[in-house]
A and B are shown apart, each in its own frame.
Chain A
Amino acid sequence: MIDFSLNEDLELIVDTIRSFSNERILPKIRVFESERRVDDDVCKEFAMASFDRLELPESLGGSGLGMLARVLVNEEMGAVDPGAALALDRLGPAFYVLDAFGGLKALSQFARPILETEGKRAVLVLESDSTFDVEHGRVSGAVPWIPSSRADLVVILSDTGARVVEHGSSLQPLRGSGLRAAGASSLRLEHAPVIAQWQDARKAAQALAKARLYAASLLLGVLRHSSEFSRNYAMNREAFGRPIAHHQGLAFLIVDMYTAVESVRLLVHDAALKIDRGEDGTQESAAAFVEAVEASRFIGPNGVQILGGHGFMQDYPVEKAMRESRALGLWMGGIDRARDDASKFLE
């Protein structure tokens, strides 16, 4: 049955995370960005509300929620600061790989310790973004960028399987283009011992589908924010004797940005619903990611454009949204790989 409404539980989750993001993150986004970290007390509060274990099964002390809840939460957090969202969600999309391949056992062995120690972070890297060699159960290689300043657990996902590494990694801080509140580093692995590994192409695809949707939903939030912020600005800023939004050239642009955000949202929800129904969702989540990235090319720069010179200045958040959206679109394998998967229906 066609139904676009949210049930009460999900509405409550959305309200809660929205208030949290607006009250605890929004006032400090520029501070978090320049410090490349989120305040400890904000992290603690996030964990207290169990938002750091949203999808972790209840038997492991998590909230056991599904993909729809995840994308709703990510949209809200992405709308405030996607970098902070990554910093706070310390398992991040690495969770999906552990869950897909190792189930409860891997989650309690690898995910729980991350959550139990303050500040620890798990990172997911895609083999396609990096160069790795594996010899005698040890892996070496380099990842040019991860949106993190720590990597207490490195989960490497390939097309056919996954590996987990705990020791033997080193990080070089980077300036980072966007998502700076999460930190930015290059990652090196030198003969890092592989502590778990699995082979299963289908599971790899499932994990990647969820990871992409994770990224797409953060991106959705960023796009919403840029579009809404610039819309409000345009209603208050005047030029030639009227609000700039009342010049049709801008009004139509704003309307089209609004529409682009909605198209991303619908595809993100579509994929999340499929996954929660137990369907594969590879194609749908890849499509949602592609749509989000394409929309970001349109919305990111135009959000800045609507503010004119002010948009270019860091006093306003639209330049940040332009950078964040670009960075998110490069993450989790980027758009080209996603497009390959989104065209799987042609096989």
Chain B
Amino acid sequence: MDFEISKELRKEIDETREWGERQVRPAGLEADRNGAPLPVDHLYFRRYLEHGGGRTRWHGAGGKSSSGSSDGVVKSVILGEETSYWDRGMTIANPGVGLPEGIVLASSTEEQKQRFLGPFLEPDRPRWASFALTEPSGGSDTANFKTRARRDGKHWVLSGAKCFIGNASRADWILVQANADPDKGRAGQRAFFVEQGTPGLGGFKIEKKMGLKAYESTSFTLEECRIPENNLLGEGDRASEKPEQSDKNVKGYKSTMGTLNASRPGVAASAIGIARAALDESISFARANDLMKQIRVRDRLELFQRKLRAAWLMVLKSAWLADEGKPNIVEASMGKVYAAEIAQDIATLAMELLGVVGARGDHLIEKLYRDVKALNIVEGTGQIQRVIMGRQLVGLPR
């Protein structure tokens, strides 16, 4: 047993920190002040590409493709936590394949990888992709999505609406979850690549959010949106078969949910990053205002430090289990809900520490307080994480 971070990884954390402090934090603050996502042509995104970001983990045709993070989940979680410390919103705003990358690597055909990940190998400009699950009528009840996919000759025709989708209006393509066979319930679900500019994809509305303003969360509609048959995720030569006859497609729902399971430690780590920023800001504030001797102030800070450490170890454990190839469903959900809720508590109590200064609306802690709330909502709410744990721990029925 060992909870220490290796020297090599420490070096990478230092580099991430330097980039975070110089580039990420200022960009995030700018977006927050403007109350709008950073525009597509923002200089930051160019710099990010020059810095080596925005690229796919896929190694190109013939290269070995990994379905997980090539360097391991522990490492990606640790570096993700550091970036989130500087600005969580920016981690999503960053160009790159982002959230759908895991599922595409795991489930797409080689041809699809070439077509959809290829442009992200050495991107000529900042490029984004997007993953659309949530619908206006509900996001938690993933088995009950209303967006439909209908077969029409060599095409699929999608109809429905999606909401709060990260980077949707600037994405090259959106991986859209839709039901191809509603009678089958969740087993009818499939994921489709919908390319930007496809007729029928439209009605983009960039939502105004409480926090995490750096990236766009966009609602859109699919009206008789016609896409080629080989845009069905995982579907190559067998496109003419009925979806349920293809092994890969039978896993449609499962592979999507599997992706969300795998990304959970990352989301949890970003909550930790935000909370750690709130802790550091609180300590600076307490020092600057001569509050350190006050017992109530000290008690709050002690609680921040302790809970943060417990949450962080929980997240690391779930990531470590993933790297070991061991089941981590309970641990990943536990880490996510615990980290998100602790982070919210910390930001909330940190506001109390600021007193009326917090009410001015211009302190970093005030921004963190708004940003962090989303972490207990996205990629499975705190309640849904408990439902998942409950299934494992007490056999809670669906």
Contact = CB atoms under 8 A, between A and B. Distances in A.
A267 B2 contact: no
A50 interface: no
Contact of A255 (B6, B299, B316, B389): B389
B49 to A, nearest CB: 31
Nearest to A276: B1
Contact of A270 (B309, B324, B387, B396): B309
A209 to B, nearest CB: 15
B1 A246 contact: no
Contact of A246 (B6, B321, B395): B395
Interface string B284-321: 00100000100000110110011101110110110011
Contacts of B6: 1
A90 B208 CA distance: 64
Contacts of B233: none
Given A2-B2, A231-B394, A243-B394, A267 B313 contact: yes
A4 B317 contact: yes
Contacts of B299: 339, 343
A243 B397 CA distance: 10
B317 A266 contact: yes
A267 B302 CA distance: 14
B356 interface: no
Contact of B390 (A255, A291, A339): A255
Interface in A1-48: 1-7, 10
A337 to B, nearest CB: 12
Interface in B313-351: 313-314, 316-317, 320-321, 324, 330, 334, 337-338
Determine which residue in A3, A263, A287, A345 has the highest number of CB atoms from chain B within 10 A of its CB, and name it.
A263
Contacts of A263: 307, 310-311, 314, 338
Contacts of A133: none
Contacts of A264: 310
Contacts of B394: 231, 234-235, 243, 245-246, 251, 254
A2 B31 CA distance: 35
B105 interface: no
A251 B317 CA distance: 23
A254 B393 CA distance: 8
Contacts, number: 120
A342 B302 contact: yes
B334 A343 contact: no
Interface in A271-299: 273, 287, 290-291
B334 A273 contact: no
Contacts of B387: 248, 251
A343 B301 contact: yes
Interface in B367-398: 383, 386-387, 389-390, 393-397
Given A4-B1, A251-B396, A255-B393, A266 B306 contact: no
Given A3-B320, A255-B389, A255-B390, A269 B310 contact: no
Given A246-B395, A255-B386, A346-B301, A262 B309 contact: no
A6 B386 contact: no
B5 interface: yes
A256 interface: yes
A198 to B, nearest CB: 29
B106 interface: no
B1 to A, nearest CB: 6
B4 interface: yes
Given A267-B313, A290-B306, A342-B306, A258 B334 contact: yes
Contacts of B283: 346
A4 B315 CA distance: 12
A252 interface: yes
A342 B307 CA distance: 12
Nearest to A10: B1
Contact of A345 (B305, B310, B324, B393): B305
A256 B2 contact: no
B74 interface: yes
Contact of B334 (A262, A269, A270): A262
Determine which residue in B301, B310, B393 has the highest number of CB atoms from chain A within 10 A of its CB, and name it.
B310
Contacts of B4: 1-2
A186 to B, nearest CB: 30
A254 B387 CA distance: 11
Given A259-B338, A290-B306, A291-B306, A251 B386 contact: yes
A345 B5 CA distance: 20
Interface in A231-251: 231, 234-235, 243, 245-246, 248, 251
Nearest to A244: B394
Interface in A293-347: 339, 342-343, 345-346
B393 A258 contact: yes
Interface in B215-256: none
The 7 closest A-B pairs by CB, nearest first: A245-B394, A343-B302, A266-B313, A263-B310, A251-B390, A287-B306, A255-B389
Interface of A: 1-7, 10, 68, 231, 234-235, 243, 245-246, 248, 251-252, 254-256, 258-259, 262-264, 266-267, 269-270, 273, 287, 290-291, 339, 342-343, 345-346
18 contacts: A10-B1, A234-B394, A246-B397, A251-B390, A255-B389, A255-B390, A258-B389, A262-B314, A262-B334, A266-B314, A267-B310, A287-B309, A291-B306, A339-B299, A339-B302, A342-B305, A342-B306, A346-B286
Given A258-B389, A259-B334, 10 more contacts: A10-B1, A231-B393, A234-B394, A251-B386, A254-B390, A255-B334, A255-B390, A259-B338, A273-B2, A287-B306
